[in-house]
Amino acid sequence: MISTLHEEPQLFFFCELSGAALLRLLDRPDVLNLLAARAYGVALALSVFDDGYAAATRLLNTHDIPVVAWLTLPADEGLAFNLQNYPRAAACYQAFHAWAQANGLRFVAVGFDMEPPLSDALFAGWGGAREIVRRIWLARDNALFPAARAAYLEVMAVARRDGYEVHAYQIPLIADDRRVGTTLLQRALDIVDLPADIEVLMCLSETAPEWFGSALIAVYGPSADALAVGSSGSGDAILHWDALRHNLLLAAACTDIIYVATLEQCVANGHLERIAALDWGTPVRVAPLPYAVLWSARLVVLIALIIARYGKTALAWLGWVIALLLWLRRRYATAQPTPGERQRSDDQRNQPERQ
């Protein structure tokens, strides 16, 4: 598979730093000037609302750099939002909005990170497989889903009324659940399909095994409003430029909005300047084997979801079809003469006509 692009996409950089480290990063003229010159945005991970984040936001506002409030929970609460902590979403947004208003801060959007509350049991070999099957089996009985979905919809509606665009950071599987029109995967994984203004499918290096590389982007990119590439880890050993460049070009062939993880890694490894100098018309190729494997896996998921949604209805109609076939068979059998009737008919045809 080969993809090409001829226009530069809108880039947003995730930034996970806080306090003095964040201010040191943004206090570099080369960083601020490049972000401003290229109209790159920054998504600040806000788990607390303090003076440090306020100063960083003002600095970005002064340079007219678009800022996204990437709302997160403290690390001991799991960072991301899901069905199990949905009451925290409203409280987190209300605290953010009050803080932004009190400090006169400008944000172009509010971002909600929706991730499953994954446990270690999911990565324990056959035990993990059994846990996944158990979750899917119990998915329809997830009592948290209706209340959590209503709560998240209300939070997003309030954010829009306050003048913010809403971004949602979702795992790629959410696109399959929506495509079939089910909520099975959402209920099984304790997440919600948020109707955001911009949905960002997270195709980071942590999302899929390294062997799949950019195949995840190629398979799910055409279904996405926006994509996230890169790595949330740290160090040059994780964020290699060749892989990042390839994934950026591939993502840009699918969408015009890309999130990059993370700003601090890009600056530390000299990637920010390389990204600014990218030729976005460069063709890129996806390895056929990983693409075929991932595409096939997605097809299996879609078929399973279709069966889960329409299985009972299909069985009901199958019953009527079988009944109709049996009825037609009986009518056909009734209309046919018996062996004795056929013999008498033959005898009558063979009997010579009387004069």
Q: What is the pLDDT of residues 315-345, one digit of tens each?
A: 454 455 666 666 666 666 665 565 555 555 5
Residue 122: its pLDDT value, please?
Answer: 44
HSE value, Cβ hemisphere, 13 Å, CA-based, for 77:
18
CB 286 within 8 A of CB 1: yes
**CA 191 to chain centroid:** 11
Residue 354: its pLDDT value, please?
Answer: 47
Q: Residue ranges per domain, the chain?
A: 2-285
Secondary structure class of 178 (helix, strand, coil): helix
CB 93 within 8 A of CB 159: yes
152's tokens? 């998240």
Rounded to the nearest 5 degrees, what angle is found at the Cα of 311, between the Cα atoms of 309 and 315?
150
Residue 255: its pLDDT value, please?
Answer: 93
Residue 355: its pLDDT value, please?
Answer: 44
CATH hierarchy code of domain 2-285: 3.20.20.80
Residue the block writes with tokens 């430029």: 241
Residue 314: its pLDDT value, please?
Answer: 53
Residue 210: its pLDDT value, please?
Answer: 64
Q: Taking the model in full, what pTM does it have? A: 0.81
CB 9 within 8 A of CB 258: yes
The single-letter code of the amino acid at 237 is A
Low-confidence ranges of the chain (pLDDT < 50): 1-5, 120-129, 234-237, 315, 317-318, 354-355
CB 225 within 8 A of CB 257: yes
Q: Omega before 262 cis (within 30°)?
A: yes
Nearest partner of 12 among 240, 225, 210, judged by Cα: 225
- β strands within the chain, DSSP E: 2-3, 10-15, 41-46, 67-71, 109-113, 165-170, 198-202, 226-230, 257-261, 284-285
Burial class (CB in 10 A: 0-12, 13-18, 19+), 321: exposed
